[in-house]
A and B are shown apart, each in its own frame.
Chain A
Amino acid sequence: MKGTYLGEFEELVLLTVASLGKEAYAVSVKAEVENTASRKVNISAIHSALYRLEDKGFLSSEFGNPTQKRGGKPKRFFKVTSAGFAALQQAKDLKEQLWRNIPQLTFQSV
């Protein structure tokens, strides 16, 4: 089913949002991804992923209070929904399953 499928980058972003707790918004997600995964990402890619994940129902969001920084413009904080966690869990299970399959492959074939 297409709706539950998680892309590699989407999964990364989703996990990052989960790990950031209440402080997850685009800029902090970008910084965290760059730090932990040590790869350069463009902010537009983060935006793309965040909003698409929200459209799929894996993230929910609410506005924070406007501050002096960033020209008084609002921040949108993201939170992983239960559907999001389920999707993450499913992705994890799938991978674990596959990992488990690797050594058994030769014995259980046929």
Chain B
Amino acid sequence: MDVDQNHIVPPRLGTYLLKWIYGSELYEEIAGDMLEIYEDRVLAHGRVYASTHYVIDAMLSVRNYDLRKNNNTTQNNSIAMLKNYFKITLRTISKNKVYSALNIMGLALGVAAFIFILQYVTYENSYDKFHSNHEDIYRVRYKVYRGEELNIDCAAAVPRVGPFMKEKMPEVIEFARAFPISGVMSTNNIQFREDRLHVADPAFLRIFDYPLIQGDINTCLSEPNKVVVTEEIALKYFGTTDVVGESITFDSWLRLPLQISGVTVNVPNNSHFKYDFLISYETLNNHTRDDETGNVASEEAWGWYDFNTYVLLQEGTDPKAFDDKFNQYLVEERGEDFEEYNFRSEFPLQALTDIHLYSNLLQESEPEEQGDGQAVFFLTIIAFFILVIAWINYINLSTARSVERAKEVGVRKTMGAFKKQLIYQFLSEAILLNFFALIVGLLIVFFGINYFNQLTGSQLSLSFLISGQFWLTAGGVFLVGACLSGLYPALILSSFRPSDVLKGKFSGNKSGNMLRKVLVVFQFAASVALITGTIIVYQQLAHMRNADLGFDMTDTLVIKGPAVFGEDSLFVTTMKTFKSEVLSNPEIAGITTSSNVPGDEIFWTNGIRRNEETPDRNKTIYIVGIDYNYFQTYDIELLAGRNYNETFSTDTGSMILNAAAIKYLGYESPEAAINQKIMFWGYPKTIVGVVDDYQQMSVKTAVSPIIFPLSLNENSFITLHLNTGDYQQAFDAAQQQFDRFFPGNPFDYFFLDDFFNRQYENDREFSRVFTLFAGFAIIVACLGLFGLSSFSALQRTKEIGIRKAIGADISNIIVILTREFVQLIILAIILAFPIIYIVMDGWLDNFATRIELGAPVFLLAGVLVILIAIITVGYKTLVTAKSDPVKALRYE
């Protein structure tokens, strides 16, 4: 290798260090020596080795910091003093091991909690920021009003709006639509059900940063029947990423032979939009084109809202002004329809970076993953609370110990120390202690991160340890904390008057006592708030999970329906035979097919009105296609009328609705609605039955109006209700029959209760995080309380000795020693309750079904905290109370 001697420069960091360590007298020659060694090492071992060792050598040179600087006496003196301060600090730490440990542990826990939360919050806030255009990408929402009522508020828009927006609005650089679809992918006898498929516009990969590792970004999505896959999928199906040109077949409600035209990197975890396959948009257009009129529904429809639409705007466009302007064009284009059907639609923009945390619309791309901005905000506050509690601990413990340090201060002052120097001393002590705490805190994070991830379902890694920003924040927080917590004790301690303390008159000061009390009250108010909050969160979750859902989800197995089926006309008969075969197994109590199961968001909607009403009264209703046994299998109660009946050949004109839909259409009661006519799918239908409301989605949402048309060719879900006997046998039998009747389809199944309860996963994670940090806070606060109470007991040793000598018994003493703290904590509780009531009441309002906040919760939390406090205070108190009065009084 040809190394040009003049151009190799050692790392600057090292050079700076050298300059800083050695004065101007020595720097030149020593830098020369270092450079020579560096050059030799580059030749012998390469640059990396040489640079690393250069920096190490420079760092080791710190030992020579005082070389040839002897003439500079003042600097030396202050360094000597610093040395002395550190020595004294270390001695104080080792002299009072218990209190130092309490102090450091409290601070370390605070630091650890802060780092955890900081990382969690940073991660939640990092969603979609990896797109280089993230500030100018918006999602187009879809809102429909009927009259003044907001009827639909959806994350997916209609296919026409993207192109229309681009035509009318010059600010739009590009738009891309993504239409979610799921089905079975097969190639070379490998087949899997895939859920993360989207039909996407060619601009999709240009707007977003999902880099292609194979294929051409400009053409890979422009032709029909092309598909772009992720690296992971390429490996899963083909074992290599070199798959451009390979064929793969997709089966769902449409059958698509596809050719792979590109491979992208895997979608990052912090992307709100996740895909495994992107199918070219033209493919869908070919299937929605009406042969007679030439109309393409997936380009022109204004009512089909399944298309996530994203626009890239010119830099600095104001989304608000954009919305207003676009609305005018929209009314121009669609005004007549709005009038005729009595509705109004809007397509407001939503910033890409707001989607993960601040969006909770219908048809979110990844509804289970949606974050909660409010929760993140809460956590940030909790993080600061914990840190502040830890600092307060430090202040409390150091001022409480002022009695012990008073003599030292007196001696130092007599020897000629200035007040300023004493402040420096106690500040440097605070810094050193905080530094130890930082290290212990980092260790806790280092060893606890896996546990934390497990508990909270997050995916934090330790990679933040090498990020400069993290160290900047950590360093900033550390310095602020050290100074804030160190300054007050430093001022107090340094202000002692030597004549008083050395005479032994000194015994703590009044204002310090007051401050300590205020701080303890604050600490415990924060802890009480967190504990009460945790209990309320738990109660709400339990309430939701135990709520009556209106259907039976126990012992229910759901199989995803067959997507691959040869002859469509045979499907209904085959399915019928399959059902009767499965039912012949005694372990299986019921079977039904439907377009949705509870817990699965309904995307299927249409307009509905009472037959006697005019078209402008049309309302949107959700549709679940079912067979004869749906209500029976799910144990959903029929309120009026009858179920669909297999023996009636005329049931195609009949409809069953839920109670919410009956109310929605304005009927007085379920009974009154029976045999009434409704206009649906363009024909008058008769209501033959009304079923009780059940929770299609979690109890967080209200029940939607649903119509249940009889639809025997539904192939989305097959639900089996199992007898509680032999699960395995029932499962095997179902699988065997499924494979027999629907060969070529993967047997994908889930248990309904797991599936349904996954909707609460986010809340559960939130409650775990909340509990964890509430625990942190109370532990830290207790550490402080323990330290304080022990000191107070120690200070009152003599008093207690006298009391005992006069005849007080142990219980009296305990009451005297505990009373003060219990009073403070009761005060804290009284202060915390109104605040927590307001905050938690607001949080509970997010849920459609919520608990009411009553006295028991607060009573429980209050008693719990008082108990914890008494136990904390109790140990040292008991020891003091039991101690021999003779020993206490003999001293001095």
Contact surface of A with B, Cβ cutoff 8 Å? 25-27, 30, 42-45, 47-48, 51-52, 55, 63, 68-71, 73-76
Contacts and interface: CB of A to CB of B under 8 A. Distances in A.
B29 interface: yes
A73 B67 contact: no
B29 A48 contact: no
B57 to A, nearest CB: 5
Nearest to A73: B32
B29 A75 contact: yes
Nearest to A52: B67
A15 B57 CA distance: 24
Contacts of B57: 42-44
A43 B67 contact: no
Contact of B37 (A43, A48, A74, A76): A43
A75 B30 contact: no
A59 B224 CA distance: 86
A33 to B, nearest CB: 13
A24 to B, nearest CB: 12
In the A-B complex, the 9 residue pairs with the smallest Cβ-Cβ separation, listed nearest first, are A73-B32, A44-B61, A70-B36, A26-B33, A70-B32, A44-B60, A70-B35, A76-B29, A71-B35
25 contacts: A25-B33, A26-B29, A27-B37, A30-B37, A43-B33, A44-B57, A44-B63, A44-B64, A45-B60, A47-B30, A47-B61, A51-B26, A51-B67, A55-B68, A63-B29, A69-B5, A69-B36, A69-B39, A70-B33, A73-B29, A73-B32, A74-B29, A74-B32, A75-B33, A76-B29
Interface string B31-70: 1111111010000000000000000010011011001100
A42 B53 CA distance: 10
B32 A47 contact: no
A76 B22 CA distance: 15
Given A43-B37, A74-B29, 6 more contacts: A30-B37, A47-B61, A51-B26, A51-B67, A70-B33, A71-B31
B231 to A, nearest CB: 46
Q: Select the residue from A30, A44, A48 with max chain B CB neighbours within 10 A.
A: A44
B28 interface: yes
B219 to A, nearest CB: 54
B387 to A, nearest CB: 39
Contact of A70 (B26, B39, B67): B39
A42 B60 contact: yes
Interface string B300-344: 000000000000000000000000000000000000000000000
A52 B28 CA distance: 18
B871 to A, nearest CB: 54
Q: Select the residue from A68, A71, A75 with max chain B CB neighbours within 10 A.
A: A71
Contacts of A25: 33
Q: Select the residue from B26, B36, B39, B57 with max chain A CB neighbours within 10 A.
A: B36
Contact of B28 (A42, A44, A74): A74
A25 B34 CA distance: 12
Contacts of A47: 30, 33, 61, 64, 67
Interface of B: 5, 26, 28-37, 39, 57, 60-61, 63-64, 67-68
A73 B31 contact: yes
Q: Select the residue from A25, A30, A47, A69 with max chain B CB neighbours within 10 A.
A: A47
Contacts of A51: 26, 64, 67-68
A102 B690 CA distance: 112
A60 to B, nearest CB: 15
A66 to B, nearest CB: 8
Contacts of B29: 26, 63, 73-76
B64 A48 contact: yes
B59 to A, nearest CB: 9
A76 B27 CA distance: 12
A51 B21 CA distance: 14
Nearest to B22: A47
Nearest to A69: B36
Q: Select the residue from B26, B33, B68 with max chain A CB neighbours within 10 A.
A: B33
A15 B734 CA distance: 90
Contacts of A69: 5, 36, 39
A25 B32 CA distance: 11
A65 to B, nearest CB: 12
Nearest to B57: A43
B255 to A, nearest CB: 72
Contacts of A44: 57, 60-61, 63-64
Nearest to B27: A73
Contacts of B31: 71, 73
B14 to A, nearest CB: 12
Contacts of A52: 67
A73 B61 contact: no
Contacts of B32: 70-71, 73-75
Contacts of B30: 26, 47
Contacts of B39: 69-70
B64 A73 contact: no
A73 B35 CA distance: 9
A45 B5 CA distance: 27
Q: Select the residue from A30, A43, A74 with max chain B CB neighbours within 10 A.
A: A43
Nearest to A74: B29
Contacts of A75: 29, 32-33
A32 to B, nearest CB: 14
Contacts of A45: 60, 63
B28 A73 contact: yes
Contacts of B67: 47-48, 51-52
Contacts of A30: 37
Nearest to B26: A51
B667 to A, nearest CB: 90
A79 to B, nearest CB: 15
A43 B63 contact: no
B49 to A, nearest CB: 15
Nearest to B34: A43
Contacts of A26: 29-30, 33
A52 to B, nearest CB: 8
B542 to A, nearest CB: 63
A74 B29 CA distance: 5
Q: Select the residue from A45, A51, A69, A70 with max chain B CB neighbours within 10 A.
A: A70
A27 B60 contact: no
A63 to B, nearest CB: 8
A71 B32 CA distance: 7
A45 B56 CA distance: 13
Contacts of A68: 5
A74 B61 CA distance: 19
B238 to A, nearest CB: 53
A3 B35 CA distance: 33
Contacts of A27: 33, 36-37
Q: Select the residue from B5, B29, B64 with max chain A CB neighbours within 10 A.
A: B29
A30 B33 CA distance: 10
A27 B57 CA distance: 13
Nearest to B31: A73
A48 B33 contact: no
A34 to B, nearest CB: 11
A28 B491 CA distance: 54
A42 B28 CA distance: 19
B586 to A, nearest CB: 80
Contacts of A55: 68
A48 B64 CA distance: 6
A55 B68 CA distance: 8
Nearest to B56: A42
Contacts of B36: 27, 69-70
A73 to B, nearest CB: 3
Contacts of A73: 28-29, 31-32, 35
Contacts of A48: 63-64, 67
A90 to B, nearest CB: 25
A67 to B, nearest CB: 10
B26 to A, nearest CB: 7
Contacts of B60: 42, 44-45
Contacts of B64: 44, 47-48, 51
